[in-house]
Each structure stands twice: as C-alpha cells, then as structure tokens.
Amino acid sequence: MLERLWASWRSDYVRSIDDSNEHAFTTGDGATLFEGILAAGLSDEEAGVVHRGELVSVILNAYPYGSGHVLVVPNRGVARLGDLTAEESRRLWDTVDRAVAVCEAEYECPGVNVGLNQGKAAGAGVPDHLHVHVLPRWLGDTNFMTAIAETRVLPESLDESGRRLRARWGQVPYR
C-alpha cells in the first residue's frame, strides 16, 4: 500500500517556485507552437495534421507514447479550459469523442487514454496551448524498455500513423 508522509513545511517551497517561463513554446511572431504548425503553410502530411476543423484540429504527437497518439487542439491558442468560448469547448469535446472513435476503429485497440494537463505544474509539455491527448492502448503495450532504457518502441512511423488516421477520419462520423 502507498504510504503518505505529511510534510506541510513544503508548502512554502511549492508556492515560491517561479513559473515565469510558462510560455516558452511560442514562435517568433508570438503564435503558440500549435498555432504555428497549423499556419505553417505545409501540407497536412508534412505538418502532421490529421484533421483541420473550423475551431478545433487534430495533430499527431511528434513524441508519441504509442502509435496513433494524437493531440486535439483548439485552433486558437489558449492555455486553460476556462479560456475557451462555449462553442470552442463543445467542438473540442466533440472532436475528442471522434478522435477516440477513429483510433478504436483504425487500431482495433481495447483501450484509449484521454488526458489533459492544464498548466506546467500539471505536467503540460506545451502549457500555453491547451491540448487533449488521445492515445490508443493495448494490453501489454508497455515493457521494460521505457522503465529501464528510457526508450519507447513504436511499431509504426508517424507518417504511417498519419496516413491511417487521415484516411479513417472521414469514415467515422460525429455522433
């Protein structure tokens, strides 16, 4: 069983951490990383875009935990769920729902992780642009390589994941 060590004295330290580098993932023109990807003028294949919507898009994770790992992003760079308009929020969650359905249909996976880390303290790797991870999962898809060798073994390339997901996207309707 997990033990807990209460160390209330650490609260002063935690509150003192300087988070001034929160917006480290912006482009030269001030756009967020994901806004930059969407506006780069590249083809969807080159940019790793699976789906472009009016308010929300789906991008391949460049550093995936497993094959088919995508990020559902509002097109407008906002850091927090509360910064979304009501319509952006509805579209975000509709697109997450569709991304899950697409992953299940294409990869025939028995599970899917859906996760959102809001803010640097929560583990967000790109804290200035909210994004939702959608990751197909299989029993036994983790092994010693990650824990011991700090290496992920991915059975297909990002290009192949992109081709598969783009092709399937139009075949799975919104509910």
And the tokens for 138?
A: 């299989």
Tell me if 60 is assigned to some domain: yes
Domain of residue 122, CATH code: 3.30.428.10
Domain span at residue 113 reads 28-169
Q: Specify the higher pLDDT residue, 93 or 8.
A: 93
121-166 pLDDT per residue, tens: 888 889 999 999 999 998 877 765 555 656 666 678 899 999 999 9
Tell me if 19 is assigned to some domain: no
Catalytic residue, chosen from 51, 129, 131, 133, is 131
Tell me if 7 is assigned to some domain: no
And the tokens for 116?
A: 């959102």
Q: How far apart are the first and last CA of the chain?
A: 41
Contact 60/158 with Cβ under 8 angstroms? yes
Q: What letter represents residue 72's amino acid?
A: V
Q: What is the pLDDT of residue 173?
A: 81
Question: What DSSP letter does each residue of the chain carry, written as one string?
Answer: -------TTHHHHHHH---TTTT--B-TTS-BHHHHHHTS---HHHHTEEEE-SSEEEEE-SS-SSTT-EEEEESS--SSGGGS-HHHHHHHHHHHHHHHHHHHHHH--SEEEEE---SGGGT-SSTTS--EEEEEE-TT---HHHHHH-----SS-HHHHHHHHHHHHTTS---
Q: Which of 23-27, 42-46, 104-108 has the lowest mean pLDDT?
A: 23-27
Tell me if 135 is assigned to some domain: yes
Tell me if 4 is assigned to some domain: no
Tell me if 12 is assigned to some domain: no
Tell me if 117 is assigned to some domain: yes
Which of 31, 130, 158 minimizes the C-alpha distance to 72? 130
Q: What is the pLDDT of residue 29?
A: 72
Banded model confidence at residue 30, pLDDT cuts 50, 70, 90: confident
Q: Would you call 131 a catalytic residue per the annotation?
A: yes
- As for how many domains the chain has, the answer is 1
Provide the mean pLDDT of the chain.
Answer: 85
